[in-house]
Structure 1
Amino acid sequence: MSVPPQLERAHLIGIGGAGMSGIARILLARGAKVSGSDAKDSRAFLSLRAQGARIEIGQRAENLGEPSAVVVSTAIKETNPELAAARERGIPVLHRAQALALLMEGHRVACIAGTHGKTSTTSMLTVALQHCRLDPSFAIGGDLNESGANAHHGEGGIFVAEADESDGSFLTYSPSVAVVTNVEPDHLDHHGTPEAYTAVFTEFVKRIQPDGLLIVCGDDAAASALGEQAGVRVQRYGRTVTGEDDARVLDYRATDTGGMVRISLRGEEILVPVAVPGEHMALNAVAALLAGIELGAPVDGLAEGLGAFGGVRRRFEFKGRAGDVRVYDDYAHHPTEVAAQLRAVRHAAGSGRVVVVFQPHLYSRTKTFAAEFAQALSLADEVVVLDVYGAREEPQPGVSGALIADRITGAGVHYEPAFDRVVPLAADLVKPGDLLVTMGAGDVTQLGPEILAELDRRA
């Protein structure tokens, strides 16, 4: 498939980001000339450079060269020297989502949206379609454990993409199949109010092709309500759905390797194995199954693919074992995600305790949801709360991890704002048989291997 003319010589600012590196990977596979820059080196650069990308560390105007377009994400500020130089020189500037939309042209597109579960559901659908030998192109916000990649240019005429609502950029897409897993207020630093956040999903649904399909979780009131407004076919899934074409969850059973969900679909009972723990993951698998069926894949093949799904990096990712202590890492950074994951972790822990090292992400989110985070984290036995990972935000007076830690009940609580003291503290807390999970969207992911190393050193 040819490269869109606008992207024949693309320069990506912040090329190491999850979304940007995926676009670069697809462009290179299609034969485009790709350059880019980032503030620091990344493991993603090894494969991109091997494919022919020119990548500079540090962002300077002279890095631009002569691109046909410059691609940026919302995180790139107008003061960025490369973006400022592109504006001055009249070089076209495309948002990441606009570039991805250009790459989708000529494909049958499936977009997975929702406050929670986007990455996992997109990944499940991708792996299930691959199992059916349909070779989809895909762009995901995390690396598949099977391939280690977050994007791929396929030859199957299908494009599967995670649709990010955080900045409203998913309104660039016009899918033929769309999934909305749930809708719950988040990213209020951008959207401002819960009503505005919900409204952007309403607009997204309007972007579905006239002959397309909207798949929504019927157990989530806000997602299900989108189906009432859609001008396209709607299919629901969940325990509470009753429609003739809906996928009703009859039973979910946790297993040692994940779970098994039994659904009723158009008068037929289907067993779907899920290789990752938690009923929330089983619901994601059902959504992926429905999307795969709509895309023309066989039910049996999809179910086999879902049973073989090996997970996504940073989604309850096993990091290792030190003696009888298991360590995992998870990306959960919203109260609903934290609670759902901890319920799954509780089953995986068996008779052992659950120890969580949690890093709040964004000052605005911490301030808004401090009580909800505390309630979710109370599901653990021991909780270490770090200070806030600010990411794109400046610190706010009075907003710290203590807002959450001070509200946690029913668990041992330890607020540790000093990052370098977390590893020995976590090592002090765990006992043989415990399951420890580092959790959050920031650099807390670095701590799992360090905790394992400290436990091994002590042993």
Structure 2
Amino acid sequence: MPLVDPVELVPAAELGPVHFIAIGGSGMNGIATMLVQLGVRVSGSDRSDSAYLRALETAGARVHVGHAADQLGDARTVVASSAIREDNPELAEARGRGLRVLHRSAALGSLMLGHRGVAVAGTHGKTTTTAMLARVLTGCGLDPSFVIGGAPTGTKTGGHLGGGEVMVVEADESDGSFLQYPAEVAVVTNVDPDHLSNWGNAENYADGFLRFATAERVRLLVVSADDPGAVTLTRRVRAAVAGRAEPLQIVTFGEHPDADVRISDAGFAGTGSSFVLTAGDTGGPVALAVPGHYNVLNAAACYAVATWLGAPEAAVREQLDGYAGTNRRFQLVGTVDGIRVFDDYAHHPTEVRNTLLAARTGVGEGRVVVCFQPHLYTRTRDFSTELAAALELADEAVVMDVCGDREDPIPGIDGALVADAVGGRTHVTYEPDWDAAAPTVARIARPGDLVITVGCGDVTLVAPQIVTALTLTRGAV
């Protein structure tokens, strides 16, 4: 898949009626929602029905299940993501009619015009950090607009039109689209090579982050002091902006003693954490209701941005205490007979490892049972060994076949490649039959276990099926 080239942004008011192809996707529904709230006529389609589609319909969008050329109606602008193929009937119709066709990042960039943009990037943690920051800024009274690649817990959309001057967006690096955004604040949680089928190699991937962090409009870079890739990025940024007429302020965060926003005294119990944030002479304790060391780091990044934007320091820490999470990020789906079933979006080896480390903290005396679905044939080919090593943090691993999404199959690349490489004390089951995954996990699970479905494909649909299977055999608690 080629990288997305930045284009000149069109103000949202000039887009006319907008049609979204795959409007229910995690990267699309928030943009569509914000346009609806702006009063723009919005329509869209997706291959399957979802809560996102119904929420957009309730908000005033015209939505369709399935793709067809006549569903464009009187649209003047059509928005598509990198996952949409050229032979999609709606995209082909739009090009045939000479309509304006925008990548989703250009539509999002249009919404950012006139705002103080905050773009949150990084290989891991983008969605959570964006949602956490939106929650904190809202609670502190800044009333931000935001577009998140996942709905905050308890909501059905990742988009909101606020009345304040700040707009927070999740900046996706996978296809280079994060270079499109007119951001005043750039956040980099980490830099860990991924999406190499798009970028070509790790060096190109790192260069993309350098361009993101040193874009002309950026005034503040908030970047990890702990992640090796981010530390290298910071060094390169300092060299690149030396002598620049408009200064770029850099604020680092992490446990490193030289971090500008420093984490200390971190403790983890159950599915929460506590720690202290210190920035110069200010700071204090924070208690998060979500698990994992990675969320402590995400909170530190949010603290750095929110206080720079003028939110009161103590209020920022108070709002972090109240962050309730995001859909598909260690999300509790159900509990049956003492077996808790969670769902998580992790798909890169580092993310899978971090998620299972959090699960180990929260499991207590039980076992960690993971149902993992590899995502993309190229990622499975490139990282099968690393994915298998991450799964060794579980007691039981059920490995499904690859979710290919936009990719065509690659001979010899399947879920067995990962399952066969799992070692250590982990008992692994390869289950290539999608429909058999939930019953298999339900048979393995026992009271006290923490079960978690992991992956960014349709494995998320397996989690409620596990709850159903457990309920049928054990009864709900």
Identify the TM-score tier after normalising by the shorter chain.
Answer: over 0.9
Superposed, 1:194-273 pairs within 5 Å as 194-207=202-215, 209=217, 212-230=219-237, 231=241, 232-242=248-258, 246-256=260-270, 258-273=272-287
Which residue in the other structure is 1:367 paired with? 381
Question: Using a 3 Å threshold, how does the CA distance of structure 1 residues 269 and 58 change in structure 2: closer, same or farther?
Answer: closer
Superposed, 1:1-80 pairs within 5 Å as 4-80=12-88
Q: What is the Cα deviation at residue 58 of structure 1?
A: 2.4
Which residue in the other structure is 2:301 paired with? 287
Which residue in the other structure is 2:344 paired with? 330
Q: TM-score, normalised by structure 1?
A: 0.96
What percent of counterpart residues are identical? 47
1:56 maps to a residue whose letter is H
- Pairing partner for 2:111 from 100, 103, 111: 103
1:297 aligns with 2:311: yes
Distance, in Å, in 1 between the alignment partners of 2:22 and 2:132 is 27
Distance, in Å, in 1 between the alignment partners of 2:318 and 2:231 is 28
- Pairing partner for 1:433 from 448, 453, 457: 448
Q: TM-score, normalised by structure 2?
A: 0.93
Say which SS state the counterpart of residue 75 (structure 2) adopts. coil
Contact 1:322 / 1:456 at 8 angstroms: preserved in 2? yes
Q: What is the Cα deviation at residue 422 of structure 1?
A: 1.6
> Tell me, which stretches of 5 or more residues in structure 1 are unaligned?
none
Contact 1:120 / 1:311 at 8 angstroms: preserved in 2? yes
Distance, in Å, in 1 between the alignment partners of 2:445 and 2:74 is 55
Say which SS state the counterpart of residue 27 (structure 2) adopts. helix
Regions of 4+ moved over 4 Å = none
- Pairing partner for 1:451 from 446, 455, 466: 466
1:215 maps to a residue whose letter is V
Distance, in Å, in 2 between the alignment partners of 1:128 and 1:5 is 28
Distance, in Å, in 2 between the alignment partners of 1:359 and 1:241 is 38
2:207 maps to a residue whose letter is A
1:397 aligns with 2:404: no
Q: Deviations over 1:415-443 (max 9, x none)?
A: 11111222221112112111111111111
2:463 maps to a residue whose letter is G
Q: Which 10-residue stretch deviates more, 214-223 or 444-453? A: 444-453
Q: What is the Cα deviation at residue 174 of structure 1?
A: 2.3
Distance, in Å, in 2 between the alignment partners of 1:125 and 1:103 is 18
Which residue in the other structure is 2:398 paired with? 384
Q: Deviations over 1:122-153 (max 9, x none)?
A: 01101111111211100001110143421100
Contact 2:266 / 2:274 at 8 angstroms: preserved in 1? yes
Say which SS state the counterpart of residue 399 (structure 1) adopts. coil
Contact 1:69 / 1:94 at 8 angstroms: preserved in 2? yes
Distance, in Å, in 1 between the alignment partners of 2:155 and 2:414 is 37
Superposed, 1:45-194 pairs within 5 Å as 45-194=53-202
Contact 1:26 / 1:153 at 8 angstroms: preserved in 2? yes
Q: Which 10-residue stretch deviates more, 381-390 or 57-66? A: 57-66
> Tell me, which stretches of 5 or more residues in structure 2 are unaligned?
1-9, 242-247
Distance, in Å, in 2 between the alignment partners of 1:386 and 1:183 is 28
Say which SS state the counterpart of residue 19 (structure 1) adopts. coil
2:363 maps to a residue whose letter is A
Distance, in Å, in 2 between the alignment partners of 1:67 and 1:425 is 46
Contact 1:241 / 1:247 at 8 angstroms: preserved in 2? no
Contact 1:173 / 1:207 at 8 angstroms: preserved in 2? no
Contact 2:343 / 2:452 at 8 angstroms: preserved in 1? yes
Contact 1:219 / 1:241 at 8 angstroms: preserved in 2? no
Contact 2:148 / 2:169 at 8 angstroms: preserved in 1? yes
Question: Using a 3 Å threshold, how does the CA distance of structure 1 residues 355 and 443 change in structure 2: closer, same or farther?
Answer: same
